[in-house]
């Protein structure tokens, strides 16, 4: 049996109506030697048990709308509820003055290699150190478990351009790249067409 090799040099056309991202995978193989953040009395981390689905979707859009996060928005109520209720999945919200300002989700499906499944802040909370504090909470929870051998995350070119640098400054190291192609969520109405102008909508010729 002969192995088929794909030549990835040069350009590869993406069909109309699709979006394509270069995905970078990063890993942390041991807990950081120094704390990532000082205590923040203004921030509280709230475990989010059984989130209300509309409340969850609204916060998900607040955090990820500028980057057209769509992974959870394509799920129907039953699918989203089942995913969020998985016993190995832990969801949290950082709270400021009683208001949620972000999302932290950890997936322990593989106890030795937990995943930072979702991580982000609403735009108004970015830039004041809340992100580093939130990552410190994630790192502490992951590495306090005796089974942890590797903590990993992935980000892509559709996300904030600061994301990779932030993850690396927290102790993650890149180890793999991949290409992700999916339906453009703006064409299905999940987001307005003017969202994420750094990834232009390509609809094809009008009828």
Tell me the average pLDDT of the chain: 93
Q: What is the pLDDT of residues 133-187, one digit of tens each?
A: 999 999 999 999 999 999 999 999 989 999 999 999 999 999 999 999 999 999 9
Is 130 in contact with 121 (CB distance < 8 Å)?
Answer: yes
What mean pLDDT comes out for the span 91-120?
Answer: 97
Q: What is the pLDDT of residue 9?
A: 85
Percent of the chain clearing pLDDT 70 (strictly above): 95
Give the sign of the dihedral formed by CA 83, CA 87, CA 93, CA 98: positive
18-183 has CATH 3.40.630.30 classification: yes
Question: What is the model's pLDDT at position 207?
Answer: 45
Please say if the pLDDT value at position 101 is more than 70. Answer: yes
Task: Look up tokens 């306090």; give the residue.
Answer: 144
Long-range contacts of 117-126 (CB under 8 A, 24+ apart): 117/89, 118/60, 118/63, 119/153, 120/63, 120/64, 120/69, 121/63, 121/94, 122/59, 122/62, 122/63, 123/62, 123/66, 125/94, 125/96, 125/101
* 183 or 204: which leads in pLDDT: 183
Contacts of residue 133, Cβ cutoff 8 Å, sequence gap at least 6? 36, 37, 40, 43, 94
Write out pLDDT tens, residues 26-42. 999 999 999 999 999 99
pLDDT band at 3 (very low <50, low <70, confident <90, very high): low
If you ran DSSP here, which 8-state letter would residue 61 be given?
Answer: H
- 75-87 confidence digits (pLDDT tens): 999 999 999 999 9
């Amino acid at each position: 049996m002969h192995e088929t090799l794909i030549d990835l040099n040069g350009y590869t056309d993406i069909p109309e109506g699709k979006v394509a991202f270069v995905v970078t995978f990063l890993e942390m193989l041991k807990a950081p030697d120094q704390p990532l953040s000082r205590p923040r009395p203004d921030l509280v981390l709230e475990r989010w048990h059984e989130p209300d689905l509309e409340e969850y979707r609204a916060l998900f859009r607040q955090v990820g709308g500028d980057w057209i996060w769509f992974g959870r928005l394509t799920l129907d109520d039953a699918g989203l509820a089942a995913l969020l209720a998985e016993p190995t999945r832990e969801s949290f919200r950082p709270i400021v003055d009683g208001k949620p300002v972000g999302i932290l989700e950890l997936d322990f499906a593989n106890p030795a290699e937990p995943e930072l499944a979702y991580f982000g802040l609403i735009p108004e909370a970015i830039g004041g150190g809340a992100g580093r504090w939130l990552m410190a909470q994630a790192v502490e929870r992951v590495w306090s478990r005796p089974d942890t051998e590797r903590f990993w995350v992935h980000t892509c070119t559709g996300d904030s351009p600061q994301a990779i640098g932030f993850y690396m400054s927290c102790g993650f190291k890149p180890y793999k790249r991949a290409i992700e192609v999916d339906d453009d969520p703006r064409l299905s109405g999940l987001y307005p067409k003017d969202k994420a102008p750094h990834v232009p909508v390509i609809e094809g010729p009008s009828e």
